[in-house]
Amino acid sequence: MSSTPLVPESKLPALGTTIFTQMSALAQQHKAINLSQGFPDFDGPPWLQQRLAWHVSQGANQYAPMTGVASLRSAIADKTAELYGWRPDADSEITVTAGATEALYASITALVRPGDEVICFDPSYDSYAPAVALAGGILRRLPLQPPAFRVDWSQFAGLLSARARLVILNTPHNPSGTVWLAEDFRQLWQAIAEREIYVLSDEVYEHICFARDGHASVLAHNELRQRAIAVSSFGKTFHMTGWKVGYCVAPAAISAEVRKIHQYLTFSVNTPAQLALADMLNDQPQHWRELPDFYRAKRDRFVQGLAASRFEVLPCEGTYFLLADYSAISDLDDVSFCRWLTEQVGVAAIPLSVFCAEPFPHRLIRLCFAKQEATLDAAAERLCQL
Ligand code: PMP
Ligand code: GLN
């Protein structure tokens, strides 16, 4: 009998581990200040942690309902109504998921059939493309140009073929920090109104928005929301990326399809965390209301810290990421520059080209400012020496 291990033909042959995993590992290896992978280096609200412990102690330790704990779905409906002027039905239109990542995967799997075309905007978050590929879809990427990274709507219209099925967007946008205007949603609606094209709106940074007009959600658009899935993440909002709790909001018929996938991906999301998050939304809404100011102060401090450097910092209207152009410092490509920066300078960052399919000729890196002041100051000091 042969003992040769079997090696499956990969369904995703071009993929390795994510850039976020790679850069965080490199940062650890070189004891660099880690501004690469997006997560805070400070803890979430102690009150929220205490609620989690309390619910565990009260025996809330068995399966949650497949769609999410009722009190959490109801609190999400309240928050949505307050923010976007429309209240989703908590029973049929809100689904709690294992982070935004699961919501995105379940949504793409539910909507995309083999041969369908999916439009996304590059730079785009890394989880979209593999999910589309596994569903048999074909990704059409519309490149956005720095420094503004805004959608050219006539270019977008030109990309829509008869097979177009889904548009994936992300606002506030990781990595560029660009925020869509209500006008962008109007343009999107104009382009797709007459066709059976769905919208997946990744809004995980909805509460980290500094734009003058605030965050324009797809849920605030009366027509678009009837064919849209909006995805959110509590990890960003409550500084608890490791809890992996998110949710999506979509019309009942679309939610029903997403739930068919969700119930066999994870079935349900951990119970005490959901109960604690419901308490947090109900009792401490000031947390998310104050989040823009909290992160604006961090952004401004870091931008100020980099003012004396040779980096050119791009505008940031949302997310906790800042883009910096290093053309004045180095001729290296962005991947090599990020490795060098981590190993030699002691600051880890993310290269922009990894978010793009087309060659990305710009010299841009992404720096995460979800960090304590001391971390930001120490990183800025090192970056100013270049
Ligand atoms: N979408 C975007 C744009 C993100 O930046 C992230 C995480 N940083 C996610 C989705 C995934 O969120 P979660 O950690 O809740 O799965
Ligand atoms: N979304 C986070 C980022 O953009 C990373 C999440 C992950 O590591 N998958 O940095």
Residue 77 and residue 166 in one domain: yes
If pLDDT is split at 50, 70 and 90, which confidence band does 358 have? confident
What sign does the dihedral 373-379-385-386 (CA atoms) show?
Answer: negative
Res 262 pLDDT > 90? yes
If pLDDT is split at 50, 70 and 90, which confidence band does 3 have? confident
Strands 164-170 and 117-122: parallel
- Whether 12 maps to a domain, the answer reads no
Q: What is the pLDDT of residue 249?
A: 99
Each residue's pLDDT tens digit, 136-174: 999 999 999 999 999 999 999 999 999 999 999 999 999
Helices (H), the chain: 19-29, 46-57, 70-84, 99-111, 128-134, 153-159, 182-192, 234-237, 252-265, 271-283, 286-289, 291-306, 334-340, 373-384
Q: What is the pLDDT of residue 308?
A: 96
Q: Can you state the angle between helices 373-384 and 291-306, rounded to 10 degrees?
A: 20
**pTM of structure:** 0.97
Give how far Cα 341 sits from Cα of 30, 186, 303, 322, Å.
10, 41, 18, 16
- Whether 95 maps to a domain, the answer reads yes
Average pLDDT, the chain: 97
Residue 194 and residue 317 in one domain: no
Q: Write down which residue in 284, 319, 354 finishes a domain.
A: 284
Share of the chain above pLDDT 90, in %: 96
Residue 266 and residue 137 in one domain: yes
Each residue's pLDDT tens digit, 6-33: 999 999 998 989 999 999 999 999 999 9
- Cβ of 233 less than 6 Å from ligand 1: yes
- Whether 4 maps to a domain, the answer reads no
Q: What is the pLDDT of residue 359?
A: 85
What sign does the dihedral 43-281-110-104 (CA atoms) show?
Answer: negative
Residue 239 and residue 328 in one domain: no
Residue 56 and residue 145 in one domain: yes
Q: Cα 353 to the chain's mean position, in Å? A: 17
Residue 164 and residue 76 in one domain: yes
Question: Looking at the CA of 243, which ligand is closest?
Answer: 1
If pLDDT is split at 50, 70 and 90, which confidence band does 2 have? low
Q: What is the pLDDT of residue 87?
A: 98
- Whether 10 maps to a domain, the answer reads no
Each residue's pLDDT tens digit, 59-73: 999 999 999 999 999
Give how far Cα 213 sits from Cα of 179, 187, 216, 300, Å.
10, 17, 8, 19
Mean pLDDT, residues 36-42: 96
DSSP assignment, residue 216? -
- Whether 9 maps to a domain, the answer reads no
- Whether 236 maps to a domain, the answer reads yes
Residue 366 belongs to a domain with what CATH number? 3.90.1150.10
Q: What is the pLDDT of residue 160?
A: 97
- Cβ of 127 less than 6 Å from ligand 2: no
3-state secondary structure of 96: strand
Residue 176 and residue 298 in one domain: no
Question: Looking at the CA of 128, which ligand is closest?
Answer: 1
Q: Write down which residue in 261, 284, 307 finishes a domain.
A: 284
If pLDDT is split at 50, 70 and 90, which confidence band does 330 have? very high
Residue 235 and residue 107 in one domain: yes
* CA 192 / ligand 2 centre spacing (Å): 30
Residue 239 and residue 273 in one domain: yes
- Whether 217 maps to a domain, the answer reads yes
Each residue's pLDDT tens digit, 194-222: 999 999 999 999 999 999 999 999 999 99
Res 311 pLDDT > 70? yes
The protein residue whose alpha carbon is closest to atom 1 in ligand 2 is 38
Q: Which atom of ligand 2 is nearest to the CA of 368?
A: 10
Mean pLDDT, residues 272-290: 98
The token duo for 350 is 């993310």
Indicate the top mutation candidate among 102, 125, 237 to test ligand 1's pocket, ranked by most ligand atoms within 8 A of CB. 125
Q: Write down which residue in 223, 252, 284 finishes a domain.
A: 284
Mean pLDDT, residues 101-126: 98
Residue 276 and residue 377 in one domain: no
Q: Which atom of ligand 1 is nearest to the CA of 233?
A: 15
Indicate the top mutation candidate among 120, 168, 206, 233 to test ligand 1's pocket, ranked by most ligand atoms within 8 A of CB. 233
Residue 111 belongs to a domain with what CATH number? 3.40.640.10
- Cβ of 37 less than 6 Å from ligand 1: no
Q: Which atom of ligand 2 is nearest to the CA of 101?
A: 9
Q: How many domains does one find in the chain?
A: 2
- Whether 210 maps to a domain, the answer reads yes
Residue 366 φ then ψ, to 5° = -110, 130
Each residue's pLDDT tens digit, 236-250: 999 999 999 999 999
Residue 240 and residue 291 in one domain: no
The token duo for 302 is 């870091």
Domain that holds residue 320: 19-44+286-384
Closest CA to 17 of 8, 26, 9: 26
Residue 250 and residue 126 in one domain: yes
- Cβ of 172 less than 6 Å from ligand 1: no
Q: What is the pLDDT of residue 1?
A: 63
